[in-house]
Structure 1
C-alpha cells in the first residue's frame, strides 16, 4: 500500500525537486533525475515547435502520400504537445519554465528564416504588383 506522502499531488505552483513528472516515481526525489526531467520537458517543447512546420509537398505528389506525411507530422506534433501539457500539470515551476523556454527557443530556431526574410524586405517596396500605366 502507498504511503500518504507518495500519493501527494500539488494543486498550486511550487518549486522543488520533489515532483512527479509524466511517470510515477520520476524524478523520484533525486536532484539529478529532476534536472534530467527538466531537460526532457525542454526537448519535448522544442520538438513541438519543430513538428509545427509541416513538410512542403512537391508538385505531383500523390494525395494519399501527402495526406499520410502530414498525418504523421500531426501525430508527433499533437503527441509532444500533450506530453508537455501533462508535464506542466505537475505544477512544478522548474518544469513550467523549461516548457516555456523550450517553446520560445524552438519558435526562434524554427521560424528564424521567415523572421529574417521579412526583416530584409525594403519597406518602401510593395509586394503587390502595380498595374501598368497607360
Structure 2
C-alpha cells in the first residue's frame, strides 16, 4: 500500500471514474442547433422530430400563459377566490416552466417562445378574437 500519496491511488476507497461516463455540458450562451436538452434530461436529444415537438411544446406553453393572463378569464374568476387562486398558481407554474425551457439557451426555443407570446397577445388581447373583456382601455400595470 502506498502511503506517500504519490502513487496515483485514491485513499478514500472510491474507484476512479469510468472512462465510459459521459460528461454533460450545459451551454451558457445562446446557440443554434437541434442537439440540445429542453426541460428534461435527454429530451429532445439529437432527433430533429423530437426537437420540432419540443418547439411546438414551448410555443403552446407561451400561448397558454397568455390565455391564463387574459382579462376575460380573470373577470370570470374574480368572484370565485379559490378558482382564481388555482388559475394564478397554474399561470405561475407555466411561467416558471417556460423560463426553465428558455434556460436551455437554444435560439430556436427563444424564437418560438416569443412567437407564442406574440400569437397569444394578437389573438386574445389585441382584438383578433374580439375585444378582451369588452373594454378598450389598456390593462392596469398591476392587479394587486
Q: TM-score range by the shorter chain?
A: 0.7 to 0.9
Gap runs ≥5 in structure 1 = 120-134
Matches of residues 1-134 of structure 1 in structure 2 within 5 Å?
2-4=21-23, 7-53=24-70, 54-57=73-76, 61=79, 66-111=80-125, 112=127, 113-114=131-132, 118=136
Kindly indicate whether structure 1 or structure 2 has the higher relative contact order, using CA contacts under 8 Å at least 6 residues apart.
Answer: 1
Please give the alpha-carbon distance, in whole angstroms, between the structure 1 residues aligned to 2:48 and 2:67. Answer: 29
Cα distance in 2 for partners of 1:24, 1:58 equals 37
**Higher helix proportion, which one?**
1
Q: Verify the 8 A CA contact 2:77 2:83 in the aligned structure 1.
A: no
Which protein has the bigger strand share?
2
Any conservation in 1 of the 2:67–2:120 contact (CA below 8 Å)?
A: yes
Alignment CA distance shift 1:72-1:96 (3 Å): same
On the 8 A contact 2:35/2:45 being kept in 1, the answer is yes
**Structure 1 CA distance for aligned equivalents of residues 53 and 121 of structure 2:** 22
Quote the Cα distance in structure 1 between the aligned partners of 2:124 and 2:48. Answer: 31
Cα displacement (A) at 1:76: 1.3
Q: CA deviation at 1:118?
A: 3.6
- Structure showing greater radius of gyration is 2
Instruction: Give the number of aligned pairs.
Output: 112
User: Pairwise CA RMSD of aligned residues?
Assistant: 2.4
Q: Which runs of 4+ in 1 moved over 6 A?
A: none
- The answer to whether the 8 A contact 2:77-2:84 is kept is no
TM-score, normalised via structure 1 length: 0.75
